[in-house]
Amino acid sequence: MTEGISLLRSGASAYRVTGAVLLNVYYSTLLALAYEIAGRVDESMTLLDEASQIVERTEERWFAAELNRHKGQLGHSAAAEIAKP
């Protein structure tokens, strides 16, 4: 999983370096989901929050509903992590 996260991070970073802004929200969400699967919930939520800021700044709203759905699910995952004995 760590290798996959590393590949996603480097790919998203390389994409951003080109100056591209379209699809950044989507790629950030994919990386956030990889973090969630790896059990790195805090990092996942941080990425989703950053993606929400990108949506507000760029008005690229085509993925906003899906982003919010992931944030809601992750919120439940975070609550479940806290509730574990």
Give the global pTM: 0.80
C-alpha to C-alpha distance for 85 and 58, rounded to whole angstroms:
42
Position 77 scores a pLDDT of 64
Encode 11-23: b = buried (16+ Cβ within 10 Å), e = exposed. Answer: ebeeeeeeeeeee
Query: Domain-by-domain residue ranges, the chain?
Result: 2-83
Residue 6: other Cβ atoms inside 10 A: 11
Number of H helices, E strands in the chain: 4, 0
Q: Could you report the per-residue pLDDT of 1-45, keeping only the tens digit for each?
A: 888 899 989 998 999 899 988 888 999 999 999 999 999 999 999
Residue 21, phi then psi, degrees to nearest 5: -120, -25
